């Protein structure tokens, strides 16, 4: 068992705000982080989708600067964080953007039940019939920081501008569209110097994309990590003297071979009594037919014994899997909640897009490989 993480992903933006001189009231169920960052006038948070701490340790030869930063002492600040459950982008973005638990902000998975419509909502691609600002009502850290006079920026692909996920979890900053990684580095460097106090959020998703398609053990994944390593070197070289660069991630990833997959579309035993299957293959959330929750729970526990943790909604909430859960968010959680612990994935091609069955790298569960993410720090010459 590894050393426990130093904090959680939800701590990152509140800590960055504090470094900028903006002290925020902790979200429900959250406390002021036990670690702190040095004071800085300009902070850039570079979030690399899919860059788990375990992957960085295992594949660090492709990212020597990142590996070096992971091993550096940081004077009481965090180096390893817990992303939270489920370890998936939509949930992690909610936690990152609002500084709160998944159960508090309510973005509880890749696909979750919209109780008002009895339909699954994909929280990445979204649905125009769902107002993201109603679905996720908590203010974002970006909004709070901007209200205190700090210029805030979000740098990412153009399709993210005004998207449901952006409006729900990351609303507030000025959006700057840039496609290539080098263009995003240029935009971040310029944004950092655009005002006396700045908070810049830079997103890169190709590490996650490459892991999904080719696997996180592939040579393609190693090459993608090398590109991120170069980007961190470039950002570090262009960091203002009063600037601070933070590099983190939303989750890790594991590879699952095609023979280790279950599909409810062809598995009558596990499909029995299941109305809708949300979550994702490493962390299914089962919305059961009326009166079937206990029977589904028993069947799944018997079938996946030793391979997955299978809990009822009440058990998962009591165990703290989602942190502090607001009452209005409880119905979004499955009647049965699963976190896979083995080399295994559970799909439902009846309710999930077919492409999920073809992905090699997966995430979502509570394993260390999926939940532990790095927090790397580079300080300007007048910071730290």
Tens-digit pLDDT profile for residues 314-348: 999 999 999 999 999 999 999 999 999 999 999 99
pLDDT of residue 216: 97
Query: Would you say 345 and 308 are in contact if contact means Cβ atoms under 8 Å apart?
Result: no
Query: Would you say 253 and 370 are in contact if contact means Cβ atoms under 8 Å apart?
Result: yes
Question: Do the strands 7-8 and 372-374 form a parallel or antiparallel pair, or are they unpaired?
Answer: unpaired
> Which parts of the chain register pLDDT below 70?
1, 73-78
**Among 173, 172, 273, 188, CA closest to 236:** 188
Q: How far is Cα of residue 155 from the mean position of the Cα atoms in its chain? A: 17
Report the alpha-carbon distance of residue 110 to residue 98 in Å, rounded.
Answer: 17
pLDDT of residue 159: 96
Report the alpha-carbon distance of residue 31 to residue 323 in Å, rounded.
Answer: 12
Half-sphere exposure of 236 (CA within 13 A, CB side): 15
**Among 302, 18, 328, 57, CA closest to 150:** 18
Report the alpha-carbon distance of residue 270 to residue 159 in Å, rounded.
Answer: 37
Per the DSSP assignment, residues forming a β-bridge with 374 are: 80
pLDDT of residue 33: 83
Query: Residues, the chain, total?
Result: 384
Using CB atoms within 10 A of its CB, is residue 122 exposed (0-12), middle (13-18) or buried (19+)?
Answer: middle
Ordered domains of the chain (ranges, CATH): 7-253+368-379 (3.40.720.10), 258-362 (3.30.1360.180)
Q: What are phi and psi of 163, to 5 degrees?
A: -70, 165
pLDDT of residue 96: 98
pLDDT of residue 69: 94
Retrieve residue 330's tokens: 């409880």
Report the alpha-carbon distance of residue 311 to residue 38 in Å, rounded.
Answer: 41
pLDDT of residue 1: 60
């Amino acid at each position: 068992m590894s050393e426990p993480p130093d904090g959680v992903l939800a701590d990152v933006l509140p800590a960055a705000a504090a470094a900028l001189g903006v002290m925020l009231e902790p979200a429900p169920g959250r406390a002021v982080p036990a670690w702190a960052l040095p004071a800085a006038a300009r902070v850039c948070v570079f979030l690399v989708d899919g860059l788990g701490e375990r992957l960085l340790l295992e594949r660090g030869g492709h990212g020597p600067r990142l590996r070096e930063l992971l091993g550096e002492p940081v004077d009481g600040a965090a180096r390893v964080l817990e992303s939270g459950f489920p370890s998936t982008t939509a949930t992690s973005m909610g936690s990152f953007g609002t500084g709160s638990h998944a159960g508090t902000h309510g973005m509880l998975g890749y696909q979750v039940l919209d109780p008002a419509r009895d339909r699954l909502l994909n929280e990445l691609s979204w649905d125009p019939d769902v107002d993201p600002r109603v679905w996720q009502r908590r203010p974002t850290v970006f909004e709070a920081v901007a209200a205190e006079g700090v210029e805030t920026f979000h740098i990412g692909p153009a399709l993210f501008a005004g998207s449901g996920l952006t409006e729900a979890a990351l609303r507030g900053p000025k959006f700057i569209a840039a496609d290539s990684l080098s263009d995003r580095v240029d935009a971040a460097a310029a944004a950092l110097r655009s005002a006396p106090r700045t908070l810049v959020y830079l997103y890169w998703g190709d590490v996650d994309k490459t892991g999904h398609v080719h696997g996180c053990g592939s040579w393609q994944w190693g090459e993608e990590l090398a590109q991120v390593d170069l980007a961190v070197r470039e950002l570090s070289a262009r960091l203002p003297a009063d600037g601070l660069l933070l590099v983190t991630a939303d989750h890790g990833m594991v590879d699952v071979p095609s023979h280790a997959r279950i599909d409810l579309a062809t598995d009558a035993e596990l499909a029995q009594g299941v109305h809708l299957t949300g979550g994702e293959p490493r962390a299914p959330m089962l919305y059961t037919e009326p009166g079937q929750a206990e029977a589904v729970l028993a069947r799944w526990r018997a079938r996946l014994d030793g391979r997955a943790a299978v809990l009822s909604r009440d058990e998962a909430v009591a165990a703290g899997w989602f942190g502090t859960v607001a009452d209005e968010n409880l119905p979004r959680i499955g009647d049965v909640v699963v976190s896979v612990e083995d080399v295994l994935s559970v799909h439902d091609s009846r309710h999930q897009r077919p492409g999920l069955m073809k992905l090699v790298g997966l995430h979502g569960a509570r394993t260390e490989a999926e939940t532990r993410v790095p927090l790397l720090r580079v300080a300007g010459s007048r910071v730290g």
